Amino acid sequence: MGEEKLSVEEMKRRAEIPAKKAPGWHAFYRGKIETTLKCAVTDVSDFGIWYTPGVAAPCREIEADQSKVFDYTNKANTVAVVSDGSRVLGLGNIGPHAGLPVMEGKALLFKYLGGVGAFPIMLDTQDPEEIIQAVKWIAPAFGGVNLEDFANPKCFYILDRLREELDIPVWHDDQQGTASITLAGLINALKVVGKDINKITYCVIGTGSANVAFVRILLSAGVPAGNVIMVDSKGILHPGREDLEKNQDKNPYKWHYAQVTNAEHRTGDMADAIAGSDVLIAASKPGPGTIKQEWLQAMNKDAIAFIMANPTPEIWPWEAKEAGVRIVGTGRSDFPNQVNNSIGFPGIFRGTLDVFAKTITDEMAIAAAHAIAETAEKKGINDNYIVPTMMETEVFVNEAVAVGLKAIEQGIARRILTEDELRNEAETKIRHAQAETKILMDAGHIPPPPSD
């Protein structure tokens, strides 16, 4: 679990590899996902059962009792990954066509890591009302909806409306997913440095969907709001920010947090907010150079910094270490401590779908965060290992169990399972998805990627 000792030059070289390989690999496969069968086809006569005329029988039963749709179709294990491409991975408003590779990647992670069937739905509109209506129109085919890469602040409005108006879980991964994994990483990082989550100062850089949701989850977990200092592009949020007050109808979330956070009523810019903080959470403008080394030098001893901008963090992790930060996390898999929502959403949706839950609550997200943290802690956490990696399958199983149990406890599950039943369901579905991929690779139906 220790950190491989590399020179700065080698770390820079490795950081450039994914972007260099990605175009060739994507073109080679012409995308990353496709639909496949889950039923047996032994003879041509089977088509009369799977399709007409036999399929009419389950259709009639569902018409009489809509809940049977979960028994007779794959609805309970199908998620729509919906985006308008208005804020994609730090790339900005690149639109629905350019955003499609990201949503295919999301669907890949859903399937391989969580055993969840997911499909990208790119919407050629950026109007919130049209987006809401489109999702409501397609909802009958899906057991859940994953909203992805919607611009701030409309992302909050879209999520709130759809959660109110649909009876399937609607989740905005840039909000709830990032918040869950960030809380998990924070829990373990604080254990490593020996600090109390409720008695330290937090600096939160960026007031987009990820950080607004993280602060909400953090406060729900019991952290005093006054201990948090938030920063947007114009400086620290505080009650005297007239621009936020004037704009509160358009973005009530920022104005709300300007009122309740920052007990010191601190003012100033990013550097002023970072000074004297114990924890830095940044999800802002991609770097490097967005955050300066000298700013980090003003943090408290044994500082923690999660620098999570995509595709490039606000400051390179080795630069943060050189500035004196003890524990550094990024959103990337090529550095230690990947604080990335890909460790959260596959397991969270797995547990949600297995109990046919009607929504995903903040309490379910917090339960997932603790399951993530506990999975890593059992293996032995340290400065360079505070959360599991995506290849540690047990983390997704543990999340699924914790989330499913919390949904049952909260009375929002349509299906009641025991802890052992939840674990067996998750293990079986995830193992099946990964074995299916391996079988296709071994048989040559999925060829190896092109060599450099």
- The one-digit pLDDT tens for each residue of the chain (452 residues) are 444 566 777 777 877 888 889 999 999 999 999 999 999 999 999 999 999 999 999 999 999 999 999 999 999 999 999 999 999 977 889 999 999 999 999 999 999 999 999 999 999 999 999 999 999 999 999 999 999 999 888 998 999 999 999 999 999 998 899 999 999 999 999 999 999 999 999 999 999 888 999 999 999 888 999 999 999 999 999 999 999 999 998 889 899 999 999 999 999 999 999 999 999 999 998 889 999 999 999 999 999 999 999 888 999 999 999 999 999 999 888 889 999 889 999 999 999 999 999 999 999 999 999 999 999 999 999 999 999 999 999 999 999 999 999 999 999 999 999 999 999 999 999 999 999 999 999 999 999 999 86
The verdict on whether 72 is a catalytic residue reads no
366: which 2 tokens? 């917090």
Task: Return the SS3 of 172.
Answer: strand
Q: Which residue is catalytic, options 106, 111, 195, 406?
A: 106
The verdict on whether 406 is a catalytic residue reads no
Longest dimension (CA), the chain: 74
C-alpha dihedral over 223, 268, 151, 142, to 10 degrees?
A: -10
CATH class of the domain at 341-442: alpha beta
Q: Which residue is catalytic, options 12, 21, 51, 250?
A: 51
Angle at 183 between CA 248 and CA 91, to 5 degrees: 60
Domain ranges of the chain: 33-173, 177-330, 341-442
Which residue, 297, 400, 293, is CA-closest to 357? 400
CATH class of the domain at 177-330: alpha beta
DSSP 69: H
CATH number corresponding to 33-173: 3.40.50.10380
Whether 177-330 and 341-442 share one fold: the answer is yes
Sequential DSSP letters for 116-133: -EEEEEE-S---HHHHHH
